[in-house]
Amino acid sequence: MPTAGKIAVKVTSATGVAVSGATITLKGGVVATTVNETTGSTGIFTSNWVPVGSYTITASETGHTTQTKTASVTSGVTTNVAITSF
Q: What are the extents of the domains in the chain? A: 4-83
CB count within 10 Å of CB 57 equals 23
Q: Which of 57, 56, 66, 22 is nearest to 40 (CA)?
A: 22
Domain covering 4-83 in this structure, CATH number: 2.60.40.1120
Q: What is the pLDDT of residue 1?
A: 54
The string of pLDDT tens digits covering residues 59-79 is: 999 888 899 999 999 999 999
pLDDT of residue 2: 63
> For residues 62 and 15, what is the distance between their CA atoms, to the nearest angstrom?
17
Torsion of CA 75, 31, 72, 23, to 10 degrees: -110
pLDDT tens by residue, 35-65: 999 999 999 999 999 999 999 999 999 888 8
Averaged pLDDT for residues 14-21: 92
- Determine the number of helices (DSSP H) and then strands (DSSP E) in the chain: 0, 8
pLDDT in the model for residue 85: 76
Residue type present at position 6:
K
